[in-house]
Structure 1
Amino acid sequence: MFINGVEMRAVRLEDAAGLAEVLVRNRAYMAPYEPLRTEAFYTEAGQRARIGELLAERDGGRVRPYVLVADGTPIGAINLGSIALGPLCSGGVGYWMDQAWTGKGLATAALEEVCRIARDEVGLHRIEAGTRVGNLASQRVLAKAGFEQYGLAPRYLHVGGAWQDHRLFQLLLHDEPPAP
């Protein structure tokens, strides 16, 4: 599918080199919001391994990993993960964009598409997301996509080298009962 001229599609092993390149280029920009990573993470081999893990989780029904691609080059990613069916019917979403592509509505549009997939294809009732308290840009993306803040989680994730407080958001997708 295309969003504002940018392709959003399932991630593939062939994306490893491009993802490594964009992650290296955005390393300092994303550092306050990401866990500490090994140097290997920022290599093609590291990204190939990470994609392999995501694809295995996808095959197990636990994640739907996507990449955003412009002119054949990855510029971001969005994952619907922690998929739980049954009475919970919930999942979590995480995303990032190349700094050069922020502010163009792509993250919001990708998030809206992932929410549609979660509702229509996966059958989820809700999606949750968390942001560091000071990550106002990501909070704006969530708000534009219809997410509502429902809580504050002290020392929720170890990112940027320390345990960080996070604002928690959710979007209720429908109120139909779960599939039997």
Structure 2
Amino acid sequence: MAKRHRLLVGGEERTVVLDSAPGGGAETLVTIDEAEPIAIDVDAAELPGFVSFRIGGVTRRAYVARDGASFDVTVGSRRFRIQQVTGSGRGRGVVGGAEDAPGEITSPLAGVVVEVRVAPGDVLEAGATALVLEAMKMQNEVLIPLDGTVTAVHVNARDSVEQGQLLIEYDPAETEE
């Protein structure tokens, strides 16, 4: 099942789709924005550390270190940072041209809830995945846009939802000014 992610890669926002390669092999198909998919076979590694991967039969290595919610990646002489786009990025809280009110997360599209990753009482940081929706055979992570504490979850896995439907309520954390 394909998974879609919005990432900042070297400061530029990209849509990255990860999918299993046809035939069920170990390769993963990676599509960045609208480019042709690239088949990548990654050898597992512990972070921080080196990760080996093959693209088109050529083996390469990258050094990957985690820095909070970001990853610093070095491939040869190139260095860049990868991080997930949070709710303040384009699109996530926008439904019908209006952003979600603070304390509410609505469905950005019609679909089926695949997984709910939060429960009432959970304390979350902005950018954390609250749930996963599937629409048109693509999985989309719905992120909490602000730090806060979940107060109510109005859906369960396998529920069908409509665009704009209230999914989750939370108390936004107090911000220091």
- TM-score, L = length of structure 2: 0.29
Identify the structure with the greater helix proportion: 1
TM-score by length of 1: 0.28
Larger radius of gyration: 2
